[in-house]
A and B are shown apart, each in its own frame.
Chain A
Amino acid sequence: MLEIKDITYQVEENNKKINIIDHLNLNIEDGKFVVITGPNGGGKSTLAKLIMGVNKITTGKMIFDGEDITEKGITERANLGISYAFQQPVHFKGIKVIDLLRIAAGEKLSVSAACEYLSKVGLCAKDYVNREVNASLSGGELKRIEIATVLARQTKFAVFDEPEAGIDLWSFQNLIRVFENIRESINGTILIISHQERILSIADEIVVIEDGHVKKQGSRDEILPEILGTSAAAKAACDRLM
Chain B
Amino acid sequence: MRGLRAGLLALLMVLGMAVFAAACGGDDDGGGGGSGGTPATKDDVDLTQGQDVTIAMVTHGDGGSFWAVAKKGAEDGAKQMGVTLKYSESNNDPQKQAQLIDAAVTEKVDGLAVSAPNPDALKDSLQKAVDAGIPVITLNSGADDYESLGAYTHVGQTEEIAGEGAGAKFKEAGAKKVLCIIHEQANIGLNQRCDGAKTGFGGDVENLQVKGTDDVQTTLTEIQSKLQADKSIDAVLALNPDIAVAARDAIKGAGSSAKLGTFDLSGDVVTAIQDGEIEFAIDQQQYLQGYLPVVFLTLNKTNANTVGGGQPVLTGPGFVTKDNAETVAQLAKDGTR
Is B truly associated with A?
Answer: no
Interface residues of chain B, those whose CB is within 8 Å of chain A, are: none
